[in-house]
Structure 1
Amino acid sequence: MAIFTKEQFQTIAYNKAKIKGHTTLNENRTFSQSSAKTSVFLSHSHHDKKLIAEAKTFFENLGISIYVDWADETMPQRTSGVTAQNIKGQIRKNDKFILLATNDAITSKWCNWEVGIGDTYKLANDKICILPLADNRLTWQGNEYLQIYPRIEESEYTRDYFKIIYPNKSEISLYDWLKQ
């Protein structure tokens, strides 16, 4: 598996922002589903806040609207059953589900719960994948159950070309997957 390191992904996101004329990543945007044709629920660990902002930049520069719970002003201030209901509703509402699969996310109870919800509503329709991000090439823990999901990788042959790799080794461009 040729996964990204956090550093590689940060560089890619920064370069995408720079191409669009943004030199800093904006962490304070509020979620707006109306500005894009496809929306993605981004499951993540709150320990990865910097990476989340970079993932938002990466996907928004592909014309995708990203839902991140802490950018949602309608979320309760304190985690509760209402939080869980809202998250479940957003997973169903958004077109796609992507797990920002860092080591912190993999150990998060919330992320694992969200993957289960995403699996229920998105797997049969090819609308779920993971974006594995390692501290370095040797320290991505992964989990056996994550092997059943497609994953995002950068092409080893073409710079700035990203693809979805399915468990059966078939591939589709990330852009095409996001648009279907």
Structure 2
Amino acid sequence: MKRILESGRFSNYMNQTRLDSATTEISKSYYPRTTVFISHKHDDLKDLSGFIGFLEEKYNVKTYIDSRDSSMPRVTSGKTASKIKTRIRQCDKFILLATNSAVESKWCNWELGYGDSQKFDNNDIAILPLKKADMTDSAYKGNEYMQIYPYIAYYEGFELYTNGNHVPKGYYVVTDDEKGNCTIEPLENWLNR
């Protein structure tokens, strides 16, 4: 299993048009598909663009990113925070694109905290741990987040369930417990429930 994915993993899905089309309208009456609020550091736009493309193309969800919301104030203010809180509540799911720079960002941490308060109890929050290709897993700064929040990982297809059956190759939302055990759910199922 790849617990911490590498930057560029979703580059085949990268497309500026997708990034530009991240919606500002997320109400169910307007858009009936699953909506995902993606918290991210603005320096990570290449990985963000690929991840948006991946989610939209593979799983038919609609993503929301605040940097493409034309209703956001030009200068960050309390109004910005209020609008972000509303968008997090309106979206079905919350994912933090958890790069090292996002883990260190006060805004991403604030969004994660608010997302936690709105989405954790219903298991509608996850992080996507993403590191630079030349970085070791131990140098990744979000390891402690992976002990608290469900995270998106990739299974190679040779791992086994506790019953001895193979875990099919693909992306899963993994939840670790305090005893070192984990439960997994296919990303597709998690996004569409």
Same fold (TM over 0.5): yes
State the partner residue of 1:165.
174
Change (3 A) 1:46 1:148: same
Change (3 A) 1:166 1:123: same
State the partner residue of 1:41.
37
Mapped pair 1:60 → 2:61? no
- Contact kept? 1:97, 1:129, Cα under 8 Å: yes
Structure 1, unaligned runs of 5 or more: 18-22
Q: How does 1:76-95 map to 2 (within 5 A)?
A: 76-95=73-92
Structure 2, unaligned runs of 5 or more: 158-167
Q: Which has the larger radius of gyration?
A: 2
Mapped pair 1:149 → 2:149? yes
RMSD of equivalent CA atoms = 1.8
SS of 2:8's equivalent? helix
Larger helix share, 1 or 2 = 1
Change (3 A) 1:93 1:35: closer
Change (3 A) 1:58 1:36: farther
Identity %: 39
How many residue pairs get matched? 169
Cα drift, residue 40 of structure 1 = 0.6
Cα drift, residue 144 of structure 1 = 2.1
SS of 1:28's equivalent? helix
Cα drift, residue 7 of structure 1 = 2.5
Mapped pair 1:29 → 2:42? no
Cα drift, residue 143 of structure 1 = 4.8
TM-score by length of 2: 0.81
Give the Cα separation in 2 of the matches to 1:54 and 1:145: 22
Give the Cα separation in 1 of the matches to 2:102 and 2:32: 26
- Contact kept? 2:22, 2:62, Cα under 8 Å: no
TM-score by length of 1: 0.87
Shifted more, 131-140 versus 41-50: the winner is 131-140
- Cα deviations across residues 119-167 of structure 1 (Å, max 9, x unaligned)? 10100000000000011351421152442111101112155x2111111
- Cα deviations across residues 43-94 of structure 1 (Å, max 9, x unaligned)? 0001111111111111111111100001111111111111000001111110
